[in-house]
Structure 1
Amino acid sequence: MLDLYHAVAGEEEEEEAVSRPVLTGLSTQSPPPGSVVSRADTVVSLVNMVEQDRDTSSPKPYWKEFRFDLAQVPVGESVTAAEFRIYKARGVSRHSNSTLHVSIYEIAAEHANRESDLFLLDAQQLRAGTEGWLVFDITAASSHWLVERKYNLGLRLYVETDNGLSVEPGSVGLLGRRGPRSKQPFMVTFFRASASPVRATRAAKAPRRRQPKKSNDLPHHNKLPGIFDDVHTADGRQVCRRHELYVSFQDLGWLDWVIAPQGYSAYYCEGECAFPLDSCMNATNHAILQSLVHLMKPEAVPKACCAPTKLSATSVLYYDSNNNVILKKHRNMVVKSCGCH
């Protein structure tokens, strides 16, 4: 999850999609590309689960089942991708030189007097001596469970050799809840909020003004420079622009549950929106008209206000109340540009 956070944070800094894989480490299968992470608003790592092995008195094949607690899954969001991750230790067994076929199924239905109905989600082929994280695509099951939580009957994992012999997963190094905490199975799900139509802000330009009459008391229109960080009004006041503001999560007392970052640059907008509103002030049509009316009736109508015109997201990695690790992309957190409204 920390690797995911760094990948997402890097994308936010570059402001462009990354096509390379975003995770590093011992995974034997390529993790989701950067585009999958870019499309997600929230990434949830689920660690709370119930694990069950096949009853040894039952006939083969061997299997292992995993059922995750979905109580913390966001409501009203759609699944863009989901993974099941299980650690494969090197292990020592009579199958050490074999090729293994590992399959993961969704348990579609359970029956008292016959075998459960299963739906194949993903499968991998690997050497028995492989060590690292195995990553399975379980997007179909996760989407199903999100629609109806009652259908969450869990996942079932099978291991077979090349000649079709069923193998007990633990005997070839697949670790379950009895393994070290850092190597226990978990589920990662990528969510995105349902899209709602948002009306784009209309770019406004100052209207062309007629030549003022001699009796006109409006101030003379002096063209302002294009770079407005150091621009001031006629009376010396600074025009609307972006200012530095760093928010420290340590100062807020949040570092006991926030993993990363320790803070971020939020910025804020401040400055004058004095007439005439030049193009460098990113003024809306409404702000231009409001400024004109303010000149005629300053006691009745205030000046236009300096406010953000473009905001971007920032991502936060944190623990929830059940110790699940959440990567959340919070939108509209960073001021990218300012203008008069």
Structure 2
Amino acid sequence: MHLPRLLLYLSLTALGPVVLGDQETQQQPSTTSSQILSKLRMREAPNISRDTVNQLLPKAPPLQQLLDQYDVLADDSMDAVAEEDDEHATTETIMLIATEPDSDVQVDGEPKCCIFSFAQKFYASRIVRAQLWVHLRPADEATTVFLQISRLMPVTDGNRHIVRIRSLKIDVRAGLSSWQSIDVKQVLAVWVRQPETNWGIEINAFDSRGNDLAVTSAEPGEQGLQPFIEVKISEGPRRARRDSGLDCDENSPESRCCRYPLTVDFEAFGWDWIIAPKRYKANYCSGECEYMYLQKYPHTHLVNKANPKGTAGPCCTPTKMSPINMLYFNPKEQIIYGKIPSMVVDRCGCS
């Protein structure tokens, strides 16, 4: 390992667990983990173990579609067109896991489900789509199921109060379980405008014999089948930018400022709460900078020319960085799919 490469390797030990090429791995201290948590608006990493992740992950189509994207795209997804970045993560999809509602709406501990909590930043976003996903247990025979969604209201005089908001008739075959989705965008819109009205909902799916097939509180073997809401939100479009600059590999003879491949490994943190990706291409900058080569700003070149003794000369640094998409749990055990800014070096230059 030649000197510039050694210095880079040592400097990266303050940034994160990294893989240099395919062989050299370095365990990272807390600097980059703190930076990543800051971008996610977290003060500390969620205390969620791998076993808890396996229990909480919905075994449902929308989540599987996201995981399939990582399987198909893998590392190549990090080589896409660079985007304009931002200081904090831009959330795209939130999966809200159902929890037990407040006792104010219960009688004798019922119903056990469901209320969905929102982070504060959720209220400042535009709801594009909201789908409630409900898993139905197998029916003993082919039948018609009536899926009913009702708003919960506080109990008065010992009596429960509900308001029917959606209903759906579903034909099911004998012995087959299934996921069903219902549009609840308007319900969420009301909760966003009037959070005090969010007491939760009750979910029932009665077959022709009166059996409730909806999984609302998981029985043994039903982990990951609880109801959840998939919410698509938008914080505005992103403007694409053309990429440029030199790209090199570990065997390149190039001595000038260049972008090199580098892989960051989240599993080295012990961060089981990150669902995907477990690893991603971060890249790094290394090389020499001549006064006229790849300087980010004309000002840098002019200053170096006007006062060559008063400046240390240009350095090879990232001149463009982009986000990565990440699927993870937040401290409220909600599943977030969003963009984490400044995680990938797209272009290197001298400045």
Query: Could you say which TM-score interval applies, normalised by the shorter chain?
Result: 0.5 to 0.7
Q: Which has the larger radius of gyration?
A: 1
Asked whether 1:155 is paired with 2:155, we answer no
The answer to whether the Cα contact below 8 Å between 1:40 and 1:190 also exists between their aligned partners in 2 is no
1:143 to 189, 200, 209: 189
Relative distance call for 1:147 and 1:125 in structure 2 (3 A) is: same
User: Residues 271-326 of structure 1: CA distance to partner in whole angstroms, max 9, x if unpaired?
Assistant: 3332323xxx3x54xx2332133122113345344333433332333344444444
AA aligned to 2:138 is R
Partner Cα separation in structure 2 for residue 89 and residue 177 of structure 1: 12
Asked whether 1:316 is paired with 2:335, we answer no
Relative distance call for 1:8 and 1:15 in structure 2 (3 A) is: farther
Give the alignment's Cα RMSD to 1 decimal: 4.3
The answer to whether the Cα contact below 8 Å between 2:132 and 2:184 also exists between their aligned partners in 1 is yes
Relative distance call for 1:200 and 1:3 in structure 2 (3 A) is: closer
The residue number in structure 2 matching 1:254 is 271
Alignment of 1:27-38 (within 5 A): none
The answer to whether the Cα contact below 8 Å between 2:264 and 2:282 also exists between their aligned partners in 1 is yes
Partner Cα separation in structure 2 for residue 188 and residue 340 of structure 1: 47
Relative distance call for 1:227 and 1:268 in structure 2 (3 A) is: closer
Partner Cα separation in structure 1 for residue 243 and residue 270 of structure 2: 40
| Length-normalised TM-score, structure 2 | 0.59
2:147 to 102, 117, 121: 102
The answer to whether the Cα contact below 8 Å between 2:78 and 2:280 also exists between their aligned partners in 1 is no
The residue number in structure 2 matching 1:44 is 95
The residue number in structure 1 matching 2:117 is 70
Alignment of 1:163-312 (within 5 A): 168=210, 171-180=211-220, 181-192=222-233, 194-195=235-236, 229=248, 238-255=255-272, 257-277=273-293, 281=294, 283-284=295-296, 287-312=297-322
Report deviation, 1:266: 0.8
Report deviation, 1:128: 5.5
| Length-normalised TM-score, structure 1 | 0.61
The answer to whether the Cα contact below 8 Å between 1:82 and 1:187 also exists between their aligned partners in 2 is no
2:170 to 114, 119, 125: 125
Relative distance call for 1:270 and 1:292 in structure 2 (3 A) is: same
Relative distance call for 1:149 and 1:67 in structure 2 (3 A) is: farther
Structure 1 unaligned regions, length at least 5 = 17-38, 57-62, 205-225, 231-235
Partner Cα separation in structure 2 for residue 14 and residue 242 of structure 1: 12
The answer to whether the Cα contact below 8 Å between 1:65 and 1:154 also exists between their aligned partners in 2 is no
Greater relative CO, 1 or 2 (CA 8 Å, sep 6+): 2
Aligned length: 268
The answer to whether the Cα contact below 8 Å between 2:304 and 2:313 also exists between their aligned partners in 1 is yes
Structure 2 unaligned regions, length at least 5 = 1-56, 58-62, 82-89
Partner Cα separation in structure 2 for residue 292 and residue 64 of structure 1: 71
User: Residues 222-259 of structure 1: CA distance to partner in whole angstroms, max 9, x if unpaired?
Assistant: xxxx86638xxxxx98222212222222333324x333
Report deviation, 1:68: 1.7
